[in-house]
Structure 1
Amino acid sequence: MSFEKVKSHKSFEGETAFCLHSSSVTKTDMKFSYFKPKTDKIENIIIWLSGLTCTEENFITKAGAQLHLANTNTMIVCPDTSPRGLDLPGEHDSYDFGSGAGFYLNATTEGYKDHYNMYDYIVTELIPMLKDEFKPENFSITGHSMGGHGALVIGLRNPDLFKAISAFSPIVNPTAVAWGEKALTGYLGDDREAWKAYDACELVKSGKRHVKKILIEQGLADEFFEGQLKTKNFEDACTDNNQDLQVNYREGYDHSYYFIASFIGDHIKHLIS
C-alpha cells in the first residue's frame, strides 16, 4: 500500500508533509502528516495520536516537535483522529463522538463497525505502510487526551511493536468517565466487559505491561483533570501491578497545545532513548 503526498514544506532542513491514502480498514480515505528530518536513515518513527476534534494538522502545526527532531534520525507521524466523509447516524452531532473522535478502538455497533476501526488502522495498516516506506528500526507511540488514551491502550496491547510509550493528559480510565462512557457505548454497545479492552487501567490490571517506564505529563490547571482524565487511577493500577510509571504533574499548565509544546522535547527523548 502506498500514499500520496498532498503538500510538503521545508522545515528545519527537513520536511513537514501532509499525506492521503485509501484505507482498506476504514473504507475511507485517510490523512496523516509527518516531519522527517534531513537524514539518510530513519531509525525511529514516533506515532502521535491527537485528541478530540483534532485532525492530522493540529500537532504538526502547533507542538514545535520539528525543532527537537531536526538533528536526529527520528520522524514523527500524526494520523487523523477518525474516518471522514461518512454520514452515519449521530456521527456529526457532538464533539466527543463520531467525526474527530474515533477513540482508537474497533467499533462493533451497526454502521460504525464498518468504518470506525482506528485501532486496526494504526496497528495493521498505518504502521506496516510506514515500515515499508521508511524502513525504521523502531516505533514508539504517544498522544494527547483521547490520543493519550489511544497511545496507552495500543502500546500496552502491543508491547513488542513499540519501543516506548508516553502520553499528555491522557484519558486513562474511559470506562469510568463521561467521555469514555459515551464513546464506548456508541462504538461498542452496552457490554461493559468489552469496554475493558480499551481502558489503560483495566489493561494493566489484567496483566498487560511494557518493559520500559511509561511517561505521562499532566497539567494541574487542566480543566478536565479531575472529571475526565483520572490520572491517579492509572498510577494506582501501575503501582499495584508492577508497571513502571512516571507522572509529571505540572503546576499551572492546562490542556492546550501550549502545554504540549512546553514538554514535547522531554517526551521525544524518552521515546527514542
Structure 2
Amino acid sequence: MEKPTEISSAKMFDGHNKRYKHFSPTLGCSMTFHIYFPPSSSPSHKFPVLYWLSGLTCTDENFIAKSGAQRVASSEGVALIAPDTSPRGLNVEGESDSWDFGVGAGFYLNATQEKWKNWQMYDYIVKELPLLLTENFPQLDTSRASIFGHSMGGHGALTIYLKNLDKYKSVSAFAPIVNPINCPWGQKAFTNYLGENKAAWQEYDATCLISKFNNVSATILIDQGDEDKFLKEQLLPHKFEEACRKVNVPLLLRVQPGYDHSYYFIATFVDDHIRHHAQALKL
C-alpha cells in the first residue's frame, strides 16, 4: 500500500492538523484525509482514534476547519481522523449532476451497480483506511477506535458501528439519516448504488440493523436540532429511537431546541461527543 504524502500541517491547541494524500486501491483514485494529532509528552505514546464521517457535499476539510473539536481532543488525548466523503476525479457520467448523489455523496456503502463500482466507501472506511493508518502512523493505536458523524456521515457511523461492534468502542451522531430506506436522500442513493433489491438497502439502514445487532452495550449518543429543516422528511430520528426501544439498545437522543443542521450546531455540542468517546476509548 502506497505511503501517504503530507500536504499541509497547522498547529492547533498544541497538537497538529495534518492533511494527507494517497492513492486508494479500494476506490481507484487519489484520496485525501486529515488527522489531528494531540500533543504528546512521549514519542512512544499511542493515541486512540476517533473517525469522523462528514455529510453530503463535504470533503475531509469541513469538520477540521469548522467544528472546534480539536480543543477537547487535545485535552483528552484522542486523535481525530477525517476522511473524504466519496471518490473524486473518476469522471463518471452524472457524478456531479446533483449535490445529494455521486461526488461528495458516497453514503459509506459498497455500490453494487457497475456504473458506480468505484463507490466502495464502506470498505475504504472499515478496511483500507485503518490499515493505512496502522502501517504509517506508529503514534496511533487503531485497535482503540470509535466513530461519529453528521447527517449522511451519521448514517455511515451508525451502520458501520452496528456491523463492526468488535472494531469500535462507541458511536455518536449529529442529525443522522437513520432510516434511509424511507427518505428521499436514501432512496435516490440506494436505487442508484445498490439497485432495486430493497433487501440490500436494509444492510445500510441503522433502523433496520438495530434489530439484528442488538448486543450493543455502549450508549449511542445522538444530537438533533429541532429547527433542522431536514428533520421530518429526511432524518426520522423517532424511527431509530423506536427501534432501539424495542430491542433495549441504550440510546441517548437529545433534541436541541432552536438548532439547525449546520456546523454551528455541531460546534456547540461536539465537546460532549468527544468526551463520550474518550471515556469509551479509555475503558
Matches within 5 A, 1:255-266: 255-266=261-272
Task: Name the count of aligned residue pairs.
Answer: 272
Matches within 5 A, 1:34-53: 34-39=35-40, 40=42, 41-53=45-57
SS where residue 17 of structure 1 aligns?
Answer: strand
Q: Distance in 2 between matches of 1:209 and 1:123?
A: 20
Q: Distance in 1 between matches of 2:246 and 2:66?
A: 36
Task: Decide which of 110, 118, 125 is 2:128's aligned counterpart.
Answer: 125
Residues 207 and 241, structure 1, Cα contact 8 Å, conserved in 2: no
Partner of 2:27: 26
The one-character-per-residue Cα deviations of 1:220-248 (angstroms, maximum 9, x if unpaired) are 00000111000000000000012111001
Q: Distance in 1 between matches of 2:273 and 2:148?
A: 8
Q: What's the offset of the Cα at 1:69? A: 1.4
Q: Distance in 2 between matches of 1:207 and 1:60?
A: 31
Instruction: Give the partner amino acid of 2:231.
Output: F
Q: What's the offset of the Cα at 1:208? A: 4.4
1:119–1:253 Cα change, 3 Å: same
Instruction: Give the partner amino acid of 1:14.
Output: G
- Are 1:189 and 2:223 counterparts? no
Residues 51 and 147, structure 1, Cα contact 8 Å, conserved in 2: yes
Q: Which moved more, 1:156-165 or 1:202-211?
A: 202-211
Runs of 4+ residues deviating >6 angstroms? none
Gaps of 5+ in 1: none
Alignment TM-score, normalising by the size of structure 2: 0.94
Q: Distance in 2 between matches of 1:157 and 1:212?
A: 14
Q: Distance in 1 between matches of 2:39 and 2:213?
A: 40
Q: Distance in 1 between matches of 2:76 and 2:156?
A: 25
Alignment TM-score, normalising by the size of structure 1: 0.97
Q: Which moved more, 1:2-11 or 1:203-212?
A: 203-212
Matches within 5 A, 1:228-243: 228-243=234-249
Instruction: Give the partner amino acid of 2:96.
Output: H
Instruction: Give the partner amino acid of 1:31.
Output: T
Aligned-pair RMSD on alpha carbons? 1.0
Instruction: Give the partner amino acid of 2:82.
Output: C
Q: Which moved more, 1:80-89 or 1:129-138?
A: 129-138
Instruction: Give the partner amino acid of 1:128.
Output: L
